[in-house]
Amino acid sequence: MRNILAVAGVVLRCWSRRKEGYILVLILAAVQYAVASMHVLSAGGASLYLYDVGLLLTWFLGWIVAIHVGASELPGEESRGTIFLLLAKPLSRAELIVGKWLGAWATVVICTLAFHVVSLLSALAVGVQPPLPALAEMCLLHLVSLAVLTAMALAVSTRLNRDAAVSLTVTAALAIYLIVPKIPKLVHYAAGWRTGMLEVLYYALPHLDLFDLRRRVLHGYGPVSGSVLVTLVAYGAVWAGVLLLIAWMAYRRRHFQRDRMLE
């Protein structure tokens, strides 16, 4: 556990000193300011819609940060050559993977909470008062979904360079988010082995859409029950665990050659 926390601490410290997160918060604040300005220009009826846009941005900026940070850590160690310093220490590869994930997720949590704060302040500025219990649940499940995405990006980056890992994870995450919930409808149009394949995909892939409670917040449906919330958090934790296990299996026998890494 000591080693995991040491690795996670360095990941968090390094990202906190980089500019990317701060720039994204500023961009979001600028967009939200534009939203508030539109309200001033007597577009008052559109304020809920504009808050929806703000939440959507917050949701996907969280994704961008999670995928970027998750996919950058291991390839970054390799391109710098610091992987040799790490693996020459009494640090197992499992500890390295979990430490990297924990540090990356902690970075993502801080960034995403900042996005939500900016989004909430903007909502209050345009006169929208989101229900706080539902908002808290939405934030929690957003962070859980980001834990899954961070683990996914990390797993992909064990075998690919950073750019390839980011591209592949973004494509996979969008496909999962948009297509998996539609599989039950697609099954009606499929026949034979395709039906079975779609059903396997439906159960084998994570359901990122389950973590998206933006509609409940926007339309004031109220919070989900405690048991549902706990089940969803557990579901996310299991998926993050499975992806970290895949990452470890891909990484544990990985060999490193300095010359090939520099190419």
Compute the least distance from the CB of residue 15 to another protein, in Å.
8
Q: Is 110 in the site for another protein (CB under 8 A)?
A: no
Whether 68 and 20 have beta carbons less than 8 Å apart is answered as yes
**Which residue, 89 or 185, is less far from another protein as judged by CB?**
89
Q: According to CB under 8 A, which one of 23, 37, 44, 92 is a site residue for another protein? A: 92
Please tell me the distance from the alpha carbon of residue 248 to that of residue 233, in angstroms, as a whole number: 22
Q: Is 1 in the site for another protein (CB under 8 A)?
A: no
Q: Which residue stretch of 9-17, 116-124, 176-184, 221-229 sits at the interface with another protein (rule: CB under 8 A)?
A: 9-17
Q: According to CB under 8 A, which one of 18, 194, 215, 219 is a site residue for another protein? A: 18
Compute the least distance from the CB of residue 17 to another protein, in Å.
4
Q: Is 256 in the site for another protein (CB under 8 A)?
A: yes
The tokens describing 135, both together, are 């908002």
Q: Which residue stretch of 3-11, 27-35, 130-138, 185-193 sits at the interface with another protein (rule: CB under 8 A)?
A: 3-11
Considering only CA atoms, which of 164, 168, 169 is closest in space to residue 152? 169
Rg of the chain, C-alpha, whole Å = 20
The tokens describing 120, both together, are 């909430």
Task: Give the containing element (helix H, strand E) for 233.
Answer: helix 226-251
Q: Which residue stretch of 61-69, 168-176, 208-216, 249-257 sits at the interface with another protein (rule: CB under 8 A)?
A: 249-257
Q: According to CB under 8 A, which one of 26, 85, 174, 237 is a site residue for another protein? A: 85
Q: Is 255 in the site for another protein (CB under 8 A)?
A: yes
Q: Is 9 in the site for another protein (CB under 8 A)?
A: yes
The DSSP 8-state label assigned to residue 225 in this structure reads P
Q: Is 91 in the site for another protein (CB under 8 A)?
A: yes
Long-range contacts of 250-256 (CB under 8 A, 24+ apart): 250/155, 250/158, 250/159, 251/74, 251/93, 251/96, 251/97, 251/158, 252/93, 252/94, 254/93, 254/158, 254/159, 256/78, 256/83, 256/84, 256/87
Q: According to CB under 8 A, which one of 41, 45, 90, 191 is a site residue for another protein? A: 90
Site string for another protein, 138-167 (x = CB under 8 A): ------------------------------
Please tell me the distance from the alpha carbon of residue 173 to that of residue 153, in angstroms, as a whole number: 9
Q: Is 88 in the site for another protein (CB under 8 A)?
A: yes
Compute the least distance from the CB of residue 90 to another protein, in Å.
4
Residue 175: other Cβ atoms inside 10 A: 11
The tokens describing 26, both together, are 């500023």
* Site for another protein, rule CB under 8 A: 2-3, 6-7, 9-10, 13-14, 17-18, 80-82, 84-92, 253, 255-258
